Every structure is written in C-alpha cells, then in structure tokens.
Amino acid sequence: MAILVTGGAGYIGSHTVVELLQAGHEVVVVDSLCNGSEEALRRVEKITSRQVVFIHGDIRDRAMLDTLFATHAIEAVIHFAGLKAVGESVGQPLRYYENNVYGTLVLCQAMAAAGVYRLVFSSSATVYGEEASVPYVESMPRGTTSSPYGTSKAMVEKVLEDQCQADPRWSVVLLRYFNPIGAHPSGLIGEDPQGIPNNLMPYISQVAIGRLPELSIYGNDYPTADGTCERDYLHVVDLALGHLKAMQALSTPGVSRYNLGTGKGVSVLEMVRAFIRATGVEVPYRFAPRRTGDLAAFWADADMAERELGWRAERGLGEMMADTWRWQSANPAGYHS
C-alpha cells in the first residue's frame, strides 16, 4: 500500500515525501508542476536512496485520478496541491477557487470511487480570520479571511467536515500550518519561489545571496514589542514530521483539526537578526509602509498536536536560518542552479 501525495513536488510536499520514504512508506506523487519541480523529486530520491512514483498530472483531471487509483493501491492521501499566493488570489479568485476548491472536490470524488477515505489536508492559520485573538486555538470557529486564498482553505475545511458528517467511512485531518520556513539539512531541497518572493524567509535569503538588493520590512508601527509584525515560524522538517503523526490519527472516523506551529511569535526584525547571527551574512533592510492585509501578530496554541499526536516543533530559529542558508547558498537560483 502507498501514500498518495498531491503537490509532492512542491516545497512542503517534497520535505514530507522524504520523511515518508525514510519511515518506510511507499509514495506516489501527483503534481502538475505549476509551482513544483521534478528536480525536487530526483533530489528526494538522492537523500533517501528510495524511489518515488511520479505522475505528472492535475488533480482536476478525474480520468487521470481514476487511472492512478486503479493502478496503485493507495491507503491514504496527503493533499498539498494548491495555489498559495495570497496577493495573487485577490486578483484571480476564479483561478484560486477552481484549483483549490474544485480540485479538492474532484480528488475526493475519485477517492470515494476508489474506496479510499483517509485524507490529510494542508490548511492554514489564515482560516482563524482577522478578528481572532492570539494564540489561535483549534476550538475557535473559523473567521473571515481577507483573501480568496484564505477563503478557499476555509471552504475546503467545511466541505470535508460535511463529507465526514455524511459518511462515517471518511477520516480527515485538517492541519493548520503557521509559517513554515527552512530547508532539508542536506541542502538538496528547499523553497524555490518563482519570481520575486512574497514571503519573508526566501526574501531574506535572496537578499543575503545578492539576488535582491535589500529587504523592505513592511511596517514598524504595529502594536508589538519592536513595531514589526510577529509570526509563528516553524521548520519545514518539523512540519513534514507532523504529517506522519497526523496519518496515525486517520484510523479514527470524522474530522480532527491541529495547529502545527511552535507556539511562539517572532518579529520581522528578530528574524533578520537571527539570520545574521546564524550565518554571519549581512541583510540590508529598510522600513517600508505596511502591506495590505497583514495582521500585527499571531501564533499557535500548539498544545493539542502535542497532547493528541505526540508532535511538537523541535527545531529552533538558528537551525531554521542555517538550513535555509545551506540550501540557498548551494542553489543560488533554486532548482535551476
């Protein structure tokens, strides 16, 4: 039996495939490569000395999925495939809802037709919405999100809840990620954004390598200790390991929800300082106006994942920075280096 990983050629997916293979699972990856790289999977094979079955396809393609399920004995699905650029989603809502919501519907229909009812879904802290108080706890209701991206995650959560309610054969784990950063310690796989990065960590590392001139810190007048925004950054390898723990919870019918974060907020300025401390490389920055849609500060209450899954984030900020830099400096232009 194998685990099907949708979006397994992407950032979090590729790191999770490494951990699955190293734990002895067979893995089948389906990825459209709209934001992933086959080279990532070749490197996963190099790290693990194991083979990944790769199917180049789109989860909206029902016929492709039916063939996949007919060809491979799949015991569970880890569903990463989706578009994730928050700003882009504001300008392209139809594309985001079609890919993220409709894509998940097609996937679930193909799963049900094949008799596969176990799913781990990549959700996001963004589903708590703009008004939620910190730290975010799983018992809080979903709130109003400011982007179609965030709404697509909330919609998929609701679809999966309704399906579990309707059919007790289904078992679904919703994993609400906070801010994943870092790279595999081998330096072989990491985050490889196309174009100018939207997110803080790849922006810092591309300034450090000289691909970008300086970091703009969006806002220094927030009601936080140093005026810059605070987020809960976690190492992508810890996040990947969270998926292995979540799979163990798939024996219970129904839906469960877990925050995957460290439980601690870190400011943008602290991130810059931690990077310089860990790498010895300077990161020129300037303060710029606030970015539309940013919240001042949020972090996870990470107790439930520890209590029920036996998972907690083990890797500290220094390790996140050192691993990011190892990946970035060995691959200055990402997988195209």
Q: Is-contact 256 173, C-beta < 8 A?
A: yes
Q: What whole-number distance in Å separates Cα of residue 28 and Cα of residue 81?
A: 13
How does strand 254-260 pair with strand 171-177?
parallel
Task: State yes or no: residue 85 binds ligand WQD (CB under 6 A).
Answer: no
Catalytic member of 149, 177, 233, 258: 149
Beta bridge partners of residue 26, listed in sequence order: 2
Only segment of 22-30, 88-96, 162-170, 198-206 that touches ligand WQD (CB under 6 A)? 198-206
Q: Smallest distance, Å, CB 332 to ligand WQD? A: 19
Q: Which of 79, 84, 315, 326 binds ligand WQD (CB under 6 A)?
A: 84
Task: State yes or no: residue 59 binds ligand WQD (CB under 6 A).
Answer: no
- 149 catalytically annotated: yes
Q: Which does 183 bind (CB under 5 to 8 A by kind): ligand WQD, ligand NAD, none?
A: none
Q: What whole-number distance in Å separates Cα of residue 86 and Cα of residue 65?
A: 27
Site string (165-184) toward ligand WQD, x via CB under 6 A = --------------x-----
Only segment of 18-26, 61-69, 193-201, 253-261 that touches ligand WQD (CB under 6 A)? 193-201
For residue 215, give the nearest of 197, 242, 237 by alpha carbon: 197
Q: Which does 200 bind (CB under 5 to 8 A by kind): ligand NAD, ligand WQD, none?
A: ligand WQD
Burial of 103 (0-12, 13-18, 19+ CB in 10 A): buried
Q: Smallest distance, Å, CB 8 to ligand NAD? A: 7
Q: Which of 12, 44, 108, 172 binds ligand NAD (CB under 6 A)?
A: 12
What b-and-e string marks burial along 158-197, b requiring 16 or more CB atoms within 10 Å of the CB?
A: ebbbebbeeeeebbbbbbbbbbbbbbbeebbbbbbbeeeb
Only segment of 34-42, 132-140, 154-162, 210-218 that touches ligand NAD (CB under 6 A)? 34-42
Task: State yes or no: residue 199 binds ligand WQD (CB under 6 A).
Answer: yes
Task: State yes or no: residue 9 binds ligand NAD (CB under 6 A).
Answer: yes
Residue 28: CB partners within 8 Å, gap ≥ 6?
2, 3, 4, 5, 52, 53, 54, 55, 68, 72, 74
Q: Is-contact 190 327, C-beta < 8 A?
A: yes
Q: What whole-number distance in Å separates Cα of residue 75 and Cα of residue 111?
A: 10
Question: Interaction with ligand WQD in 271-300: which residues (CB under 6 A)?
Answer: 291, 294
- Number of neighbouring beta carbons within 10 Å of residue 79: 25
- Number of neighbouring beta carbons within 10 Å of residue 114: 17
Q: Which does 32 bind (CB under 5 to 8 A by kind): ligand WQD, ligand NAD, none?
A: ligand NAD
Q: Which of 20, 234, 268, 313 binds ligand WQD (CB under 6 A)?
A: 268
Q: Smallest distance, Å, CB 282 to ligand NAD? A: 26
Q: Is-contact 309 246, C-beta < 8 A?
A: yes
Active site residue ranges:
149
Residues that bind ligand NAD (CB under 6 A): 6-7, 9-13, 30-36, 58-60, 80-84, 99, 103, 122, 124, 177, 179-180
Residues that bind ligand WQD (CB under 6 A): 84, 86, 124, 126, 179, 198-200, 203, 215-218, 229, 231, 268, 291, 294
